[in-house]
Amino acid sequence: MVSKIENEVIERIAEQRILVFGDIMLDHYVWGDATRISPEAPVPVVSVFRDSHTVGGAANVARNLRGLGSHVELSGTVGNDDTAKTLRNILSEDGIEFSELWSKNDVRTILKTRVVVQKQQLCRIDREDSPFAYAISAEKFEATIAEKIRKSDAVIVSDYAKGVVDETIWNLIRGCARKENTFLALDPKPRRHLAFENPDLLTPNRSEALELAGISVGLHDCFPAEAVCKAIWEKYHPVNLVVTLGADGMLLSKEGKVDTSIPTVAQEVFDVSGAGDTVISTLAAALSAGANLETAAHIANAAAGVVVGKIGTAAITMSELRNALEGPEQASLS
């Protein structure tokens, strides 16, 4: 049963105005069957029966928020190509604001093509330019982003290490968010080695958290939760730290100390693509709407449990979230 507290938070999420900034991409799925091996090489021959497209990266964060009823604006670099046209059409259908000002003539819109055979991903083909191609200037930030932050309840920075998010832009976003008292969330990519101090919310996955902490453990070793949380706090000082641990659920931390952990609610996992987008979008929206960290994490955990049960990059909807929270797996927070 949805608790009174959860219900109040969900209703307030729909009132939030949220700006999403980051790496935007289009996900292309090639669906087919493979019943024989090619005579040319030891690889399967895929007979394609359909293609589909959905948005990825920062655009998928925006799509999750829109599914929860929030008013969303999206910012990030795309090209002037057919991929961008397809992406814009999807965003328009979902009611997500995305300005033409973010188009560049000299770059390719990031495109990820996944070949899926009988619910299993066979391979992924990426088309993109160098990170420098997608970078934006401080002048463009001031002209396009600063005013949007002033009008927003929250800003989510979705970094996929494609070049839109750099240290200069992060500092400008953080400075503007602090000035306007706007909630600031970051989904980081540690390999870029950016100094992104003091976010209100930081949501690394297991491997990202270890890299941020500078700690190395084996793939099947126990996750050193206390050491990781302490190290991340000392380096980056996030107000709220949520580490997503896949089948092991979520780890919540404040001020470098382990607060609590939440077990996963996923019953059957088809595809984890985009699950991190669902987590940060739901967490940020709930925290911005006034929820405490544990309540927000329970709601986000339920949302993630829904999307990993779908094939392909997927977004949560309000009805799906309410149904998931009705389930017996969810602890009562009333």
Residues involved in catalysis: 277
Which has the closest alpha carbon to 259: 222, 298, 290?
298
Q: Whole-angstrom Cα distance, residue 248 to residue 97?
A: 35
Which has the closest alpha carbon to 185: 290, 103, 280?
280
Pairing of strands 183-187, 201-202: parallel
Which has the closest alpha carbon to 279: 298, 257, 304?
304
What are the φ and ψ backbone dihedral angles of 211, each rounded to 5 degrees?
A: -70, -40
E-strand stretches of the chain: 17-22, 24-37, 44-57, 71-75, 78-79, 97-98, 103-104, 110-117, 120-127, 154-158, 183-187, 201-202, 240-244, 250-254, 257-262
Pairing of strands 154-158, 183-187: parallel
Whether the CB-CB separation of 243 and 251 falls below 8 Å is answered with: yes
